[in-house]
Structure 1
Amino acid sequence: MSEATEQITNEVQEVSVKFDALLEWIEGQKSNMIGYVFNIILALVIFAIGKKLIGLVAKILAKTFNKSNMDEGVCRFLLSIIKIVLYVLLIVIIAGFLGIETTSLAAIIGSAGLAIGLSLQGSLSNFAGGVLILILKPFVIGDYIVTEGVEGTVTHIDIFYTRLNTPDNKLIVIPNGRLSNDVITNATKEEIRRVDITVGIEYNEEYEKVKRILEKIANREELVLKDQPVTIYIDSFSSSSVDIGFRVWANTSDYWQVKWNMLETIKREFDANGISIPFDQLDVNVSMNNGGKE
């Protein structure tokens, strides 16, 4: 009984010694812990101030770029790159303030960047495509382009993606990597465009009469450019019609309005002059022999 009591007493004393040692360690670390908490709070304050400064720098640069008449897409791209660089510098500064070796942090960032680059090769391709688009300028914001079976007005040229707004108000997002490697038709790059119309007439219609009517239509249309040639020609002989080619020129901004006006006027003038626009039809002839059998 006395041996058991002595053993319990020894264990209690041992636990008491360890607990006292723990209290002494905590007491010794109080100042350090307070310092750590203070540094973290100060780091958060520095980050908040740095974020505000980065936003201010971005606004100043944006105003400077706008005054220099720089392309809007290039401005956005440069601002995005500058903001990323400034945030990386801010993180490095905060890490140094917290006592983390900046050289080690730089090595970690470099290694992480390499790993991310290998895993995001498609994104890097989009980034490179964005750079090429902004340098070569096959289109700019506000242009109407056709590519990859889609078309629309360019509203944004970002680092990785280009955004189009379609005539029926849909948003199309295209990766820059694919866009830079695909055929692009820029419908609004030039100031004027040719409006091509093909209209069919019956074989028994008088071509010269039709030609005079089309010339009159071109002269009457206010939006047709009068200093550009009007071309009227026989385009082809199809199975049921003579196809007449009709070409006029208009300002790019007036292209669709001119085309719609011309088509409407052609129909109205043809009706007024008794000119028929043929359509495909099939005649079936059935012959019967003398016996009444087919």
Structure 2
Amino acid sequence: MEWLNAHTFLRVPARDWAAATLTVIAAYAVLSSVLRLICNRLDARARRTGHRFDILVTAVLRDTHPLFIALAALLAGSYFIDLPTRIANKLDHIWFVIIGFQIALWLNRGVKLWARDRLSTQTHATRNPVITSMTAWVLRFALWSMLLLAILANVGVNITAFVASLGVGGVAVALAVQSILSDLFASLAIGLDKPFEIGDFIVFESIAGTVQNVGLKTTRIRSLSGEEIIASNTALLKSTIHNYKRMSERRIVFTFGVTYDARAAQLQKIPDIVRRAVEAAGNTRFDRAHFKEFGENALNFEVVYFVTDPDFNLYMDIQQRINLTILEGLENLGTSFALPTRTIQLVRRDGEPVGPEELADRKSTGSSQRVNARASG
């Protein structure tokens, strides 16, 4: 004790250095032990309850930077040393900066873990990372901005003019990157309104394909031919989008015609043949079948039915079965599908129609005249 009282280092008694050193060691040990105890308790509770919040808090606290504990211990020990007044008055500001940075690191880590957990737990049908990514980015930007402003205000800097200059600079930057911000807000609109999601089959303008990824600026679509199409989010929202993934059923309308030599009794039976064909195809709901009109070359029928599954290949299989059944039914009925035909009637100069015998005579006469002309030539 006499030696500690008699000797000094840097004008500070050795006993003060010893007290400060012991305080630093004790503070580091206590802070580390308390943090470890809290993490163990939270970890045990998280395993017992399985709550995501407990797991998140445990992961955040375990990510505490060791440098924070060391700096906190050094600051605690510095109170046992007679520091210059100028430095001693700054200790409170240093405490604020250290604690503020550690809290910011905790919150930043928490936002990262929340975003990763949310993206990993979303199913393929509902996964849309736009809102999660943008929310995480905005939270982290606001967090570090508030920390920076708080530190500047704590050390005595007038942040009013600084905030005003940031506002003016923000307006200038917004005007310079107007197109990028347009796509950014368009991605936010896609995430909130959800006109389509990852895995949906969409058609807009001349592009058709499956949505692979929705980004902050662009959306990637895998087309039917295999290539990846990259479209800006703004262009997507300006177009009319057909989302076939959300279609619960298909409404099918098709027509066919039979020949004009069909009798009325046969025409009356055709709607029943069509109805039985649709109902027997499976996964269908029959709506109507009618003799619609007298066409130019056929007696036209119109059929409407619903396929209760949106799968396109299934619809084509059903339509094929219906077509074959209708064809078989018309064959059994004694009629057939109409072919494009045209009847031409020839008349004389006096308006009387030309008969078949006269037409045959004219054909034979014309043929003999062509033969004589070739012989004379």
Q: TM-score, normalised by structure 1?
A: 0.60
* Residue among 61, 70, 88 paired with 2:115: 61
Matches within 5 A, 1:1-294: 57-64=111-118, 67=121, 71-73=126-128, 75-83=129-137, 86=140, 113-205=170-262, 206-224=266-284, 228-254=285-311, 256-272=312-328, 273-274=330-331, 276-280=336-340
Kindly state the Cα deviation for residue 111 of structure 1 after the two structures are TM-superposed. Answer: 5.9
Q: Provide the C-alpha distance between the structure 1 equivalents of 2:339 and 2:217, rounded to a whole number of angstroms.
A: 49
Q: Provide the C-alpha distance between the structure 2 equivalents of 1:55 and 1:187, rounded to a whole number of angstroms.
A: 39
* Matched residue, 1:32: none
Partner of 2:296, secondary structure, is coil
Q: Provide the C-alpha distance between the structure 2 equivalents of 1:152 and 1:84, rounded to a whole number of angstroms.
A: 31
Q: Provide the C-alpha distance between the structure 1 equivalents of 2:255 and 2:109, rounded to a whole number of angstroms.
A: 55
Q: Provide the C-alpha distance between the structure 1 equivalents of 2:343 and 2:113, rounded to a whole number of angstroms.
A: 73
Q: CA RMSD in A?
A: 4.4
Kindly state the Cα deviation for residue 175 of structure 1 after the two structures are TM-superposed. Answer: 2.1
Question: Cα–Cα, structure 1 residues 263 and 251, in superposed 2: closer, same or farther, change >3 Å?
Answer: closer
Question: Cα–Cα, structure 1 residues 160 and 202, in superposed 2: closer, same or farther, change >3 Å?
Answer: farther
Q: Is the 8 A contact 2:186 2:233 kept in 1?
A: yes
Higher-Rg member (1/2): 2
Q: Give the count of matched residue pairs.
A: 238
Kindly state the Cα deviation for residue 82 of structure 1 after the two structures are TM-superposed. Answer: 2.2
Kindly state the Cα deviation for residue 154 of structure 1 after the two structures are TM-superposed. Answer: 2.7
Greater relative CO, 1 or 2 (CA 8 Å, sep 6+): 1
Partner of 2:195, secondary structure, is coil
Kindly state the Cα deviation for residue 270 of structure 1 after the two structures are TM-superposed. Answer: 4.1
Which digits, 9 at most, give the CA deviation of each residue in 1:180-201, with x for residues without a partner? 2322223332423323333333
Greater displacement, 271-280 / 136-145:
271-280
Which digits, 9 at most, give the CA deviation of each residue in 1:123-175, with x for residues without a partner? 32222322222222333333333222322333322222233333343433332
Q: Is the 8 A contact 1:92 1:105 kept in 2?
A: no
Please, which runs of 5 or more residues in structure 1 have no aligned partner?
A: 1-45
Question: Cα–Cα, structure 1 residues 265 and 169, in superposed 2: closer, same or farther, change >3 Å?
Answer: same
- AA partner of residue 243 (structure 2): N
Partner of 2:310, secondary structure, is helix
Q: Provide the C-alpha distance between the structure 2 equivalents of 1:77 and 1:164, rounded to a whole number of angstroms.
A: 19
Q: TM-score, normalised by structure 2?
A: 0.48
Kindly state the Cα deviation for residue 109 of structure 1 after the two structures are TM-superposed. Answer: 6.8
Kindly state the Cα deviation for residue 215 of structure 1 after the two structures are TM-superposed. Answer: 1.4
Kindly state the Cα deviation for residue 219 of structure 1 after the two structures are TM-superposed. Answer: 1.7
* Matched residue, 1:29: none
- AA partner of residue 193 (structure 2): L
Question: Cα–Cα, structure 1 residues 134 and 92, in superposed 2: closer, same or farther, change >3 Å?
Answer: closer
Partner of 1:230, secondary structure, is strand
Question: Cα–Cα, structure 1 residues 212 and 161, in superposed 2: closer, same or farther, change >3 Å?
Answer: same
Taking every aligned residue pair, what percent have the same amino acid on both sides? 18
- AA partner of residue 136 (structure 1): D
Q: Provide the C-alpha distance between the structure 2 equivalents of 1:200 and 1:68, rounded to a whole number of angstroms.
A: 51
- AA partner of residue 262 (structure 1): I
